[in-house]
Structure 1
């Protein structure tokens, strides 16, 4: 009876082993994607605004109330053009007084010189009269020259970027009344996080966008990095020269500073790389290879070594995938 049982169970065992062999030989269905070539750019994000490259702040040279403002913001001005006038009544009275003194000194000079020529005055008296007349004329000329200080004039030719002058307000030498700038000499000043500043160097290309002009990309180039950062914001200022001076002053921008650009990089899905390795399909078998990655951008990463263009990689392989597993790949 014992041998009979073994004889009956043996076919069943063999049948089970055959079924298992068939099951493990079935290929694993996976989705692959080929390694493709395309542009990859490593960028540093920043925010900035448009300003004049050489802004000129204009203040009064004397302290006096403003009587008249002659320009508005956005006005084109030329060097020396009056921007505002100040109350100059006291200065005019001073000029009138000095003019009278100058006339009196001139008459005294004439009389003393005439008397000296006739021998009735000393040379010292003549010299005193001449000197007094010269001093009076110089004082009058200086007072008349100071009268021009009651006119606030443009220091450069350009555009009035900002006006803080209003009739009736008191102008002082320490108060900026106007800010001027040349619209052809503008720049974008961006704030870059101190962790990213080592990657930024002059000459790098910059792409700039603004919510005010959706769909339009402005281009520029980094030309200066301030040597001192802001410890409060933990950031540095980076200057960008726009390619075309058609940006309005004061416009805020979002900047992508291109720190590295590879036009023909090998690109793969970022999720395919795990611990520096990825799965590929070699024929109908799975193989795991080590790769060196580069620029990362969202769902895509650059691979610099380990696979070639066109290699079929498994973007989302099963967690229990093993080396040499038979595959049925779609997508490559």
Structure 2
């Protein structure tokens, strides 16, 4: 009996030592700030960049080469359709028009005379036909000369505002065919011409909300709506053009560069963890005082939080900011933190 009592006492002492040792090891284990997943808003967005431009605008250039002799409209000035923006030296073309106008006047008079004489029988039908042919040929030549003369006048193809004149065009500058000299547009309705990576374009659809940022308005998230998507992308840049419509009261103006986030999915009650908790497609949790790596399916990842679609229990203890040297099964001491990962 005595031996039994002594053995039992030794067991008690051993148990105390084991508990004390475990507590000592627990205190020596590195601390890990943990957070439980929480519910909140998750927004998945596609990033794009773009430039503000009028919905309706036209680039205007010269059809002929020549020296600019007059510039009648400048940047910022309103124009009506057909207003002359600039004139290219008229040269011989205007002289040709004046010559043919005089010749047509004589041809008309000769035709009238031939008709009068034909009615009185004093000229033949052939003479009348000859006068008619001469008048028709001169009229046709005059129309052609006027068409060539019209090419000297660079005109506005639509009503609006002169948005830009190329290189501050001046009298004496040379114009070349196909060279854009002016941009005319209606600034009442604006849009953004945006570029979206081909890997993201399948997520984008008309009527999706677009959140817009511009350097001219720091700290402000402006809004727009996806209007249309080009069906054929740029195989070199590997992008697709997306047009973002803007509200009438937008503060953005033509020519501004923008960054855009197109909202493709919005989840009101998403399961979230701090983005600092991510290690690739996994998170580290604490279970039984040891670190455990858990593979998860990620959804939207923002600057502060990440959406967990599957793989993580809601009551898990997630290490908010795991160290780079952490390994599966490491002993850790959990310290509860706020949901955002702060202690």
Q: Structure 1: which 5+ residue stretches go unaligned?
A: 1-5
Match for residue 294 of structure 1 among 296, 299, 306: 299
Q: Structure 2: which 5+ residue stretches go unaligned?
A: none
User: Deviation digits for residues 228-255 of structure 1, max 9, x if unmatched?
Assistant: 3333333332222223453222211111
- For residues 301 and 60 of structure 1, do their structure 2 counterparts lie closer, same or farther at Cα, with a shift above 3 Å needed? closer
The answer to whether the Cα contact below 8 Å between 1:32 and 1:312 also exists between their aligned partners in 2 is no
Q: Mapping of 1:113-128 within 5 angstroms?
A: 113-128=115-130
The answer to whether the Cα contact below 8 Å between 1:116 and 1:122 also exists between their aligned partners in 2 is yes
The answer to whether the Cα contact below 8 Å between 2:213 and 2:221 also exists between their aligned partners in 1 is yes
Q: Mapping of 1:1-332 within 5 angstroms?
A: 14-24=12-22, 31-140=33-142, 143-144=145-146, 146-164=148-166, 165-244=169-248, 245-270=250-275, 272=277, 279=285, 293-304=298-309, 307-308=313-314, 311=315, 313-316=317-320, 320=329
Q: What TM-score comes out, normalization by structure 2 length?
A: 0.76
| Alpha-carbon distance in 1 for matches of 2:283, 2:66 | 75
The answer to whether the Cα contact below 8 Å between 1:36 and 1:268 also exists between their aligned partners in 2 is yes
Please report how far the alpha carbon of residue 155 of structure 1 lies from its aligned counterpart in structure 2 after TM superposition. Answer: 0.5
What's the C-alpha RMSD, in Å, of the aligned pairs? 4.0
Please report how far the alpha carbon of residue 277 of structure 1 lies from its aligned counterpart in structure 2 after TM superposition. Answer: 6.7
| Alpha-carbon distance in 2 for matches of 1:142, 1:79 | 23
- SS of residue in 1 equivalent to 2:317: strand
Q: How many residues align?
A: 323
Please report how far the alpha carbon of residue 63 of structure 1 lies from its aligned counterpart in structure 2 after TM superposition. Answer: 3.8
Q: Which has the larger radius of gyration?
A: 1
Q: What TM-score comes out, normalization by structure 1 length?
A: 0.78
| Alpha-carbon distance in 1 for matches of 2:297, 2:120 | 108
The answer to whether the Cα contact below 8 Å between 1:222 and 1:240 also exists between their aligned partners in 2 is yes
User: Deviation digits for residues 102-139 of structure 1, max 9, x if unmatched?
Assistant: 23334433444444344332121122223323433454
The answer to whether the Cα contact below 8 Å between 2:47 and 2:262 also exists between their aligned partners in 1 is yes
Q: Tell me which moved more, 131-140 or 20-29.
A: 20-29
